[in-house]
Amino acid sequence: MQTRQYLPFSTWADVLTHASEGRRILYHAPLDSSPCDVRVKRVFKNGKIRVNHIISGDFTIDSGHLDRLRTVPNAKPEFSMGGAPAALITKLCREQCPDGYPMVLKSQGEWRVLSDAWNQGIDAHLEALTERSSADSSSGAVNVHPDELHVLLRRLFESGDDAAWSLRSDILSTLGITEF
């Protein structure tokens, strides 16, 4: 049986960085025998963090809770559905796919949701998929520029379509991001 390794945070700035990157945080309540997972729901500008515990529900933590917080080394980033930050998506895509995020879509359903998201033009966020990204419907080959991948992923999420959410989840998982 493998023992889980929990590491304390050294500063509140480390906690804030950890939370904004969607990495796992554990909260060790005073009467608990071991730390429990909490899901980061929001990082506020004032430095507080809103978290959710499966039993206790939502609560807010601040630097006064530093001694109760732990991390698991090498944990993948996790976010609630649609919550992966654009800056993190762009950063990971630039690191892993500097020439663009490549994929080949064979499913008509995936091609349909990609096409719907792609052909919106400039959206309410004043963002678009430009000529830096390319898609060929005859071969199914797609290459999304690292600076535009977050736009495609946001549009897939906003569509509310199960096939779009599945494609979004698949793309994020290849970047090492999990949404639940």
pLDDT at 2 over 80: no
- 8 Å CB contact between 144 and 152: yes
Domains and CATH numbers, the chain: 7-75 (2.30.30.140), 86-179 (no CATH)
| pLDDT tens digit sequence for 107-116 | 999 999 999 9
- Contact residues for 158 (Cβ-Cβ < 8 A; gap 6+): none
Please give the C-alpha separations between residue 21 and each of 60, 102, 113, 121, 125, in angstroms, as whole numbers. Answer: 18, 23, 27, 29, 22
* 3-61 pLDDT tens trace: 567 889 999 999 988 888 878 789 988 888 888 888 888 888 898 998 888 788 899 99
Classified as helix, coil or strand, 103 is: strand
